[in-house]
Structure formats: C-alpha cells, structure tokens
Amino acid sequence: MSVGKNVHDVLLRKFQETYGREPQVVAYAPGRVEILGNHTDYNEGYVLSAAINLGTYFAIAPREDGKARLIAGDVMEEVSFDTFDPVPTKDHMWSNYVKGVLHGISAKRKPSHGFEAMFLGNIPLGSGLSSSAALEISAGLAFARLYGVTVSPLELARIGQRAEHDFAGAKTGLLDQFSSLHGKKDCLVWSDFRSYEVKPVPLGDDVCFLMCNTHTKHALVDGAYNERRQRCEQAAAFFAAALDHPVSALRDVSWEEWKTHREDMEVIVARRSAHPIGENERVLAGIEMLRNGDLAGFGRLMFESHESSRHYFENSCPELDTLVDGAQAVPGVLGARLSGGGFGGSVVVMVARSNVDDAASSLRNVYANKYGVRCDTRVITCSDGARVVKG
C-alpha cells in the first residue's frame, strides 16, 4: 500500500465519498523494523526494534444494525460480515487480520452495533516492515474506542498475535505488535519477552536506517523456521540438564556457557543455539553502547549479528549477504544485517543521516552489479507508536 505522505487525508476523503459521512474514530499504527535480537522472542530473550515512519490508518463509524462493512482503501475492495460473529475467510485474506482483532475485542465486551470502516497505509507489502501488525493495532485501537473497551498495550498486542494465529494462519511472536505500540521518536524499543517489559532506548537524530528489499523469498522457509525453533528447544533442554542453574529457555544461557559445552552437544543443535544466545548478549551490549553514544560500536554489533545468522543459524541467503558485505565498504554506513525471519526479504542498514542518499545509491548499485536489477531502498526513521488520532 503506497499513497504518498497524505495517507490520513486521502483516507478521510475516500471514507466520506464511500459512506457519505465522516468517521467517528480514526486510529494510526506504525510498522516496525528489527535492529538487533534475531529469533530471540520465542527463546524468551531480548529484542531491539523500532516503530517506523510508515504505517496504517483505520477509520470507523457506527451502524445501527449488526452489519460490518470493511474496505481496503488502497484497492477499494469491500467485505461485509456479521459484526457479532466474525469468521476467517479464504477470500480477501486481508480482512482476516481485522476480523481476528474484532473477535479479540469482542471477547472483552460484545459489540452493541455494527460499523463501517476503511483502512489505508503506506507500508510496502512484503517489505518486512510488518504491515499486518500495523493493521491489527490500528484496528484494535479503533474498535476499543468505538465500543468503549479498555484494553492494555499487552492485551492489544496479544489480540493482534491471536488474529495472526487463528484468523490469518501465521504463527508469529509479539515483536511486531510490541514495536508498533511502544515506539518513540528517535528511540529504539527494547523488549524483554519473558517479563514483557518494554523500554525506549534513545538513538539520536544523527543516524537513520535504510531498508534494502531484495524481493527474494527462498523455498522451504516454513520447514526451516520449524527446524530452527526445534533445535533451540533441544538446546535449552540440554543446558537445563548440564548447567547448575535453572534454564527454561536459551535466554538463560551465556555465551561462555555455550563455548564450554558446545562440544558435548549435537553439532547442528550447538550451531543453531549459538545464534539466539549471542543475539541476547548483543542486544544488552548494544543498549550500553547507545547509552554511551557509541554508534560505531553498535553498528559493528549489527554486522556481527548478520555473520551469526549466516554461519550459525543459516537463515541468510546470497542476496542478503551481497548487500551486507557491500555495505561494509559504503561511506557513512555503520552497520547492516538481515531483517526479520531471514531466508530472503530485506536488509536493514544503519547509516549517518548526512550520507543516506549516497549510501542508498551505492547499495542499489552493489545489488545490481551482482544480480542485474537494483534492490528497493527506503529511508526509515524511528517514530512514535500507535495512537487514536480522532474520537
């Protein structure tokens, strides 16, 4: 979905033209980018992410009956359903994210009436910036305000996650929803996926991020995800028996403990577990570097994170490696790594704001020299989180 900078105004105009009135509630939620902490959330670990300057607006007005009308504002496709009984559909799959959120809000308080709604955003689909979570959170905030439901950020994040699981069929963690809800301008979001504690970590305005989208997706990704999660669980069980302190997840294992015991583990289990264990330590080290203003050191951790993905977790691919390797020689670039699950998709690059245009051009050329086509680049800045903007 891409409609330029005036997404909010375009949505209001389309809503008025379609429904003949203004919305009662408008909510906004940003997408997110993962900066450090790859595959750590399901290991009860730490992640540094950011809400970004791209997102989704969700506008809604009440109806007197129980009918729900929902329109995707970019393609102007409409889905109608029973407000009191939202069920997943195989047609218009985008509607399942909204239906799932409505189902979660309804579990707290049953709606008393139907609605007319429309959403519109400027997050490129399939770019690894979590357009789905932005839709879920903006819809959740709008439904909660329309129906007078009080919902905490953690509850809303879990409602979005259940919408992904039960309605959209994607077994995701809470990272995307957390980042969208807790974003703060010029800050990263530090999330602890054991305690669910969230804190802003100031980044400053001297750097920003480039997303370099390869549009590559390699086969067997679902099986690869499952294999890696299984190996992490096997490693946690090994360390629970081998160490003299409690271990319920790889978050409880230090890098020194991994080095001490790696020869006693099955080779593939040792290799896979090294990545989230190292990532947790990189996140904690990265927070201290940012507090001390060491942006160069933080960038090195991003490069180390990608090397860990490439060597231990093997969730990179040649296209992503080309960009990360090339980024190390680009003036102004401080760090780079794959973003999200891996196996394709995008690279996130931390770059000095004064060098961002030249860096983007250089990285597009790096990719074109290898693959004959340029990757897409987009400037990303750390932004405030989700909120109700009207109503």
Catalytically active residues are 176
Three-class SS state of 74: coil
**CA-based nearest residue to 147, from 91, 196, 106, 96:** 106
Phi, psi of 208 (to 5 degrees): -145, -175
Do 386 and 29 meet the contact criterion of CB atoms below 8 Å apart?
Answer: yes
Torsion of CA 253, 257, 259, 265, to 10 degrees: -70
The token pair that represents 129 in the structure block: 């910036």
**CA-based nearest residue to 122, from 216, 14, 8, 27:** 8
Do 182 and 51 meet the contact criterion of CB atoms below 8 Å apart?
Answer: yes
- Mind giving me the DSSP string for 211-254? EEEEEEE-TTHHHHHHHHHHHHHHHHHHHHHHSSS--SSGGG--
